[in-house]
Amino acid sequence: MIVGKHLIAGEWVGGSESFENAPVEGEVSSFAAGTPAIVDKAARGAEDAFWTYGYSSRASRAVFLRSIAEEIDARGEEITAMGARETGLPELRLNGERGRTVGQLRLFADHIEKGDYLDLRRDEALPDRQPLPRPDLKMVQRPIGPVAVFGASNFPLAFSTAGGDTAAALAAGCPVVVKGHSAHPGVSDIVAQAIDAAIKKSSVHPGVFSQVQGGSRDVGQSLVQHPMIRAVGFTGSLGGGRALFDLCAQRPDPIPFFGELGSVNPMFLLPNAIASRGEDIATGWVGSLTMGAGQFCTNPGIAVIMAGADAEAFIAAAKASLGEIGAQDMLTDGIAKAYRDGRDRVRAISGVQEVLTTTCDQRKATPYLYQSTGKAWLANDELGEEVFGPLGVVVTVENEDEMIAVAHSIVGQLTMTLHMDAGDTALASRLMPIIERKAGRLLANGFPTGVEVADSMVHGGPYPASTNFGATSVGTLSIRRFLRPVCYQNMPDEILPKDLR
């Protein structure tokens, strides 16, 4: 059952304004629309909660995270049914995403119980050191305070209400205020109910979690500018993310904005690999490019390949495989329109040729394939801009030096991929120092869609892929975004944080 209200510090709060979701099929539901006043109440509730939750034990927070996972699983069928209606995503994908969401909650619970993330350090006192004694120094990572999280359009579970940013902040000891995404308010409502139940079961302060739904642009602006908010987690468009990032920087007290803003995720297809298995690589690329209607931030939209017969065979194989892909529902009408606008922008660029053109309208997406050259790529930055959907561009280069030049020209990415065989090692070795500076995750002979939630994962990269190249929004390292190091000098053990005693 949908509540249709905001969850604010343990209370379901309505309002005078409302909005409706836009399901692919089924009944429309109505939801209360957020206001700056509701944001203020949520942020103040989060600050109140921090004075207990921020100083709670790792064990109690682990229990809370596991309880959230249990409550989400208990509502699994309801979440999947609502998600399918609102987003058009298939049940299998939604069930898998729910598994990822609860899995990362449990992983983070296990991780904080071990305590390694605290980076504990100590320099013992040296009272007899000359010419000056050294004091006793201890250091530990401490939670920063309330965190604002913006839900993502393309992941109604894993990057939204109880997704990675929320899980990381709660694991760190930070209360959370979520701005729910209007693409799936029903799913967000049900997940908020699960978190509310976990709060009551675990007896934590109700202000530890709030969710504000809908509302005009000033709702998001008031959230990132609220004096009680100490950091922001965001997954979304470059334009929207940059606007919020600038607001965070313009505050009287600037705060960190951890924005994941998208990527074209270039692949470099090296000669020996293409000569020996080009058709298989083309088929794999098409599967990755069109997965989920191409609505992944790790969608590999660019393939760079040496011009010649092998390149033509690769393009022909990709075209044939793409031609078998039917129309797919996109997450929202707005995303579908943006996809069509991106298609029109790409095909209007000088030096771009259509390889496969289709017809898509309303909320449907069909694949497109274009071909360009290294020379055209280097002459026009627009070719490197993300098109959110199943659109691919093959860039043919004349020689190794032009491939290196293309690699140098690419801006920050979430991922970059090398498809290579043993005979390609020399060229791959030339590319590695370049792509290492460009992306947070480097792949060999694979496809970047599908981000493993693990200790070693990095989901981030240099701008514009993300706004903080030193952070990741996936994996246990993501918890560190919401901590800061504190050093204690000659502090009596009795008043130190428990993790240092």
Termini Cα distance of the chain: 46
Q: Rounded to an integer, what distance in angstroms lies between the CA atom of residue 357 and that of residue 343? A: 10
Token pair listed for 362: 């309303």
Q: Which of 71, 97, 260, 402 is catalytic?
A: 260
Q: Which two tokens stand for residue 108?
A: 């983070």
Closest among 261, 199, 264, 204 to 410, alpha carbons compared: 264
- In angstroms, rounded to a whole number, what is the distance separating the alpha carbons of residues 415 and 279? 22
Q: Is 113 a catalytic residue?
A: no
Q: Are strands 137-143 and 483-489 parallel, antiparallel or unpaired?
A: antiparallel
Residues whose CB is less than 8 angstroms from the CB of residue 85 and which lie 6 or more positions away in sequence, other chains included: 23, 24, 25, 26, 186
- pLDDT digit string, tens, across residues 468-481: 999 999 999 999 99
Q: What mean pLDDT do residues 280-296 have?
A: 96
Q: How far apart are CA 320 and CA 1, in angstroms?
A: 45
Please write down the HEC assignment for all residues of 217-266: HHHHHHHHHCCCCCEEEEECCHHHHHHHHHHHHHCCCCCCEEEECCCCCC
297 belongs to the catalytic site: yes
Cross-strand partners of 126: 134
Number of C-beta neighbours around residue 283 at 10 A: 16
- Cα–Cα dist 399/373, whole Å: 11
Q: How far is CA 140 from the centre of its chain?
A: 27
Alpha-carbon gap, residue 156 to 139, rounded angstroms? 38
Of 377, 391, 374, residue with least CA distance to 322: 391
Average pLDDT estimate for 295-301:
95
* pLDDT, position 407: 98
Inform me whether the pLDDT recorded for 361 exceeds 80: no
Question: pLDDT for 208-246, tens place per residue?
Answer: 999 999 999 999 999 999 999 999 999 999 999 999 999
Residues in the chain: 501
Q: What is the mean pLDDT of residues 20-43?
A: 95
* pTM, to two decimals: 0.95
Distance (Å, whole) CA 215 – CA 217: 7
d(C-alpha 15, C-alpha 476), whole Å: 37
What's the rounded Cα separation, in Å, for the pair 213 and 177? Answer: 11
Q: How many helices (H) and strands (E) does the chain have?
A: 14, 21
Q: Which residues of 35-49 are buried (b: 16+ CB within 10 A; e: fewer)?
A: bbebbbbbbbbbbbb
Evaluate whether 453 touches 100 at the Cβ level (below 8 Å). yes
| Predicted local distance difference test score (pLDDT) of residue 406 | 98
pLDDT of residue 293: 92
Percent of the chain beyond pLDDT 70? 100
- Find the mean pLDDT for residues 25-49: 96
Two tokens at 188?
A: 């967000």
Distance CA 415, CA 461 (A): 8
Q: Which tokens is 23 given? A: 């399901």
Max alpha carbon distance in the chain (Å)?
Answer: 80
Cα distance between residue 383 and residue 452, in whole Å? 29
pLDDT at position 270: 98
Mean pLDDT score across all residues of the chain: 96
Tokens 């305590």 appear where? 115
Q: Write out 128-189 in H/E/C secondary structure.
A: CCCCCCECCEEEEEEECCCEEEECCCCCCCCCCCCCHHHHHHHHHCCCEEEECCCCCHHHHH
Question: What is each CA distance from 124 to 149, 339, 351, 392, 493, in whole angstroms?
Answer: 39, 59, 65, 58, 13
Q: What are the tokens at 459?
A: 């989901």
| pLDDT at position 368 | 96
Q: DSSP secondary structure string, 258-294?
A: EEE------EEE-HHHHHHHHHHHHHHHHHHHHGGGG
pLDDT at 359 over 90: no
Q: Which pLDDT band holds residue 21 (cuts at 50, 70, 90)?
A: very high
Query: pLDDT class for 385, splitting at 50, 70, 90?
Result: very high
Can you tell me the distance from the alpha carbon of 493 to that of 501, in angstroms, rounded to the nearest whole number? Answer: 6
Instruction: Give the sheet arrangement for strand 209-212, strand by strand.
Output: 11-13, 6-8, 209-212, 176-179, 147-150, 231-235, 257-260
pLDDT in tens, 126-163: 999 999 999 999 999 999 999 999 999 999 999 999 99
Which among 228, 249, 220, 254 is positioned nearest to 151, based on CA atoms? 220
* Sequence-ordered list of residues with C-beta below 8 angstroms from that of 252, at least 6 positions apart, any chain: none
The pLDDT of residue 135 is 97
Active site residue: 297, 360, 386, 402, which one? 297
Tokens 């609860």 -> residue: 102
For residue 294, with 0-12 CB atoms within 10 Å meaning exposed, 13-18 middle and 19 or more buried, which class applies?
buried
Bridge-based pairing of strands 18-20 and 30-32 is antiparallel
Give residue 202's pLDDT: 96
Residue whose structure tokens are 């951890």: 258
Going by their DSSP bridges, the two strands 257-260 and 209-212 should be labelled as unpaired
The helix/strand/coil state of 61 is helix
